[in-house]
């Protein structure tokens, strides 16, 4: 049962509308309070605090000093200056950690634990008289989430950092354990700085999973130990690669910000680039016309019936999985093109000699590759076709990303698998930008129209599910496929739209779009202050006048 929040009327006042995602339980008052120039954050009962918790505290200090976000009202808060100047001052925030096990773990350790076991809840109390504020959690990850919320309470005016809504009481925990963003770094390469900036932004809205679609048919930028030839011959250029050290850097950076990194090596489809280094393993490599052999160019799929290709793929997945500490690893499984195999003599010979059908061969291939993931102590993530389009053997703990349509969720639930919402009709960030294939004057993107933040915010994760099936939903994510995106538009195409699912899967469904918009404006403005080039949701005139630009205002 999802907790339903009590939202005080004072939520509509300026100094609490910056909270995103909305806490489960929030009450606020009407008393101004400002931070002391000597404001301090103290750790209580943690004699040797983990380094990443100390770093998180330092980042919080820095944001409090540098955000300088003014209230989004016409006078930017100037009419409250007198009340702010005469307000009580808050001198300190105490972090109190009460781990259930008695053992203090780092944020990084807790971030990569099985997603269904993580503790992210916290309580936060800020009194109106300026006495010490208190943040309590039973995990360092919970403290980190609470620090994120604390940093959102404050605005700046004339050198004062203030709120108008003390006292503030928050009890909070996520409705769903999985809240993610997928980035495709194969169709376009993204330097580490872009990925880290994205991870920062994710942490500011309490997202906890970075689904890294790191390779695909177009390029293979991941340097996998023992399989270096794949990146040497399959990356766009020698500089456009992610070395094992880069991966460690990304994983550590993400984990310290409460984010797990789930890598994906899509198989057996979307693997054309492997032919550059290992042509013996790829059917119909770069065959034309590509539309007969693949959903997009270049064509090419792993020869799934070949024993040597099965062994090669299992070893590749094993090596890649060892680079990532996450308890999840994705083997993909989407958009397998039957015609490619029908026209591939080698595959047909293998099927004939083994007396197997295509589906039987796919099952053998899947069991072997998934065994590599299981041997690494991880759970498999697959796209929905592995459950709905093919008859393959999957372990009960497999997580299924439903992407083709939200209408397919119920069918996956009926088979009893855990579900990650990733539906193109709600969460694809690349829709609505026109067709990207050439020689098609009137072409549109296949998943038109553009998916607004309001659309994703309106999604109901439990729609069409029984009470029992609702427990199968792990959460969901926004996704950016990068046929038409690269570092030049990464921030603008993702933010603040992707924050909508961050709140949806933290707070739960049923949020009011009109009441959410002023807070989402604050998200965008704060992101810009912190160096993320989020786009405007409305003209600034509207952002400063909550509700004035609603359709029937």
DSSP codes joined into one string, 331-395: EE-----HHHHHT-HHHHHHHHHHT--HHHHHHHHHHHHHHHHHHTT-EEEEETHHHHT------
Is-cis flag, bond preceding 496, omega within 30?
yes
Give the distance from CA 36 to its chain's centroid.
35
Q: What's the CA gap between 5 and 449, in Å, rounded?
A: 33
Q: How far apart are CA 494 and CA 210, in angstroms?
A: 13
Element (H, E) at 309: helix 307-321
Beta bridge partners of 180: 209, 477
40: Cα within 13 Å, side-chain hemisphere: 6
Q: How buried is 520 (Cβ within 10 angstroms: 0-12 exposed, 13-18 middle, 19+ buried)?
A: buried
Q: Which of 74, 86, 58, 90 is nearest to 154 (CA)?
A: 90
The Cα–Cα gap between 430 and 447 comes to 8
Q: Which of 109, 232, 286, 335 is catalytic?
A: 335
Closest CA to 137 of 177, 94, 97, 171: 97
How far apart CA 353 and CA 360 sit, in angstroms, is 13
Ordered DSSP codes for 78-100: GGGHHHHHTSEEEEEEEEEE--T
Instruction: Identify the CA nearest to 333 among candidates 233, 417, 247.
Output: 417
Question: Is residue 335 annotated as part of the catalytic site, yes or no?
Answer: yes
433: Cβ contacts below 8 Å, ≥ 6 apart: 445, 450, 484
Contact (Cβ atoms closer than 8 angstroms) between residue 373 and residue 389: no
Q: Which residues, 6+ apart, have CB-to-CB distance to 165 below 8 Å?
A: 10, 13, 15, 16, 28, 29, 30, 31, 153
List active site positions: 335
């Amino acid at each position: 049962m999802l907790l339903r929040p009590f939202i005080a009327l004072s939520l509509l006042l300026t100094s609490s509308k910056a909270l995103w995602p909305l806490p489960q339980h929030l009450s606020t008052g009407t008393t101004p309070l400002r931070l002391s120039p000597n404001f301090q954050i103290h750790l209580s009962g943690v004699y040797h605090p983990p380094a990443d918790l100390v770093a998180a505290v330092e980042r919080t200090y820095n944001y409090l000093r540098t955000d300088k976000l003014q209230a989004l009202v016409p006078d930017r808060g100037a009419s409250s200056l007198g009340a702010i100047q005469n307000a009580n001052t808050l001198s300190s925030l105490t972090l109190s950690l009460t781990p259930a096990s008695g053992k203090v773990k780092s944020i990084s350790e807790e971030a990569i634990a099985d997603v269904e076991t993580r503790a992210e809840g916290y309580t936060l109390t800020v009194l109106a008289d300026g006495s010490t504020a208190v943040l309590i959690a039973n995990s360092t990850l919970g403290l980190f989430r609470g620090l994120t919320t604390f940093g959102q309470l404050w605005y700046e005016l004339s050198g004062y950092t203030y709120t108008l809504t003390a006292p503030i009481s928050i009890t909070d925990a996520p409705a769903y354990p999985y809240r993610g963003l997928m980035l495709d770094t194969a169709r376009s390469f993204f330097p580490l700085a872009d990925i880290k900036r994205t991870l920062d932004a994710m942490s500011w809205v309490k997202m906890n999973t970075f689904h890294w679609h790191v390779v695909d048919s177009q390029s293979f930028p991941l340097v996998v130990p023992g399989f270096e030839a794949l990146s040497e011959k399959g990356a766009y250029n020698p500089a456009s690669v992610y070395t094992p050290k880069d991966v460690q850097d990304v994983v550590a950076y993400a984990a310290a910000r409460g984010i797990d990194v789930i890598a994906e090596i899509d198989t057996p489809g979307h693997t054309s680039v492997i032919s550059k280094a290992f042509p013996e393993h790829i059917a119909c490599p770069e065959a034309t016309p590509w539309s007969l052999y693949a959903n997009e160019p270049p064509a090419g799929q792993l020869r799934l019936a070949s024993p040597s290709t099965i062994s090669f793929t299992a070893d590749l997945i094993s090596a890649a999985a060892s680079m990532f500490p996450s308890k999840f690893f994705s083997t993909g499984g989407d958009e397998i093109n039957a015609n490619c195999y029908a026209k591939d003599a080698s595959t047909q010979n293998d099927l004939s000699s083994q007396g197997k059908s295509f589906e039987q061969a796919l099952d053998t291939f899947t069991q072997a590759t998934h065994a590599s993931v299981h041997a690494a102590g991880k759970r498999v993530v697959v796209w929905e076709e592995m459950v709905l389009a093919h008859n393959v053997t999957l372990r009960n703990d497999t997580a299924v990303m439903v992407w083709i349509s939200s209408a397919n969720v119920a069918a996956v639930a009926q088979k009893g698998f855990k579900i990650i919402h990733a539906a193109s009709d709600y969460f694809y960030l690349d829709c609505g930008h026109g067709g990207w294939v050439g020689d098609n004057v009137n072409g549109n993107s296949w998943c038109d129209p553009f998916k607004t933040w309001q659309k994703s915010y309106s999604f109901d994760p439990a729609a069409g599910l029984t009470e029992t099936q609702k427990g199968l939903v792990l959460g969901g994510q926004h996704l950016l496929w990068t046929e038409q995106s690269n570092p030049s538009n990464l921030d603008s195409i993702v933010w603040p739209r992707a924050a909508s699912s961050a709140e949806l899967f933290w707070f739960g469904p049923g949020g009011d779009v009109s009441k959410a918009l002023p807070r989402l404006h604050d998200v965008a403005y704060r992101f810009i202050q912190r160096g993320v080039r989020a786009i405007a949701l409305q003209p600034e005139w509207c952002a400063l006048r909550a509700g004035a630009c609603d359709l029937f205002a």
